Amino acid sequence: MSFYENVFIARQDLTPAKVKELADKFAKVVKDNGGVVAKTEDWGLRDLAYKIQKNRKGYYTMLAIDAPAAAVIEMERLMRLDENVLRHLTIKVDALEEGPSAMLEVRSRRQKDDKFEVEIEKAEV
């Protein structure tokens, strides 16, 4: 089996619970076709670089997949048919990343920096 990373963007008007349901639906398709979803990351609601189908924002979700090509092809086919998915991209990788992806590391680092600035401001007062 091969390793893949898939990122899809869901419409902005969905609830986070609906986005999780979408991710679970695609993970189930992979599992039913003999693959394994190693991890699922919710990157949250983010601004798009340009409007897609009148949407300025979208929910980003990443799936790390260990599956045969047929499972990924079926998952992508269902993503194309789903009206809640604005865009998707699947790439083949040599190995799956351990731990959080770079997108989550940036977010956690940014949150730590914000907390540090708040602590400095409190100390100065």
Q: Which domain holds residue 31?
A: 2-96
Flag whether 73 is in a domain.
Answer: yes
Q: Is the predicted pLDDT of residue 65 greater than 90, yes or no?
A: yes
Q: In whole angstroms, how large is the CA radius of gyration of the chain?
A: 17
Distance CA 3, CA 6 (A): 10
| Number of domains comprising the chain | 1
What are 78-106's pLDDT values in tens digits? 999 999 999 999 999 999 888 888 887 77
Percent of the chain with pLDDT strictly greater than 90: 72
Instruction: Report if residue 21 sits inside a domain.
Output: yes
Residue for token pair 């990351």: 41
CATH number for the domain spanning 10: value is 3.30.70.60
Strand segments, DSSP code E, in the chain are 2-11, 36-52, 55-67, 85-93
pTM of the full structure: 0.81
Bridge partner residues of 63 (DSSP): 6, 40
Statement: residue 119 has pLDDT above 80: no
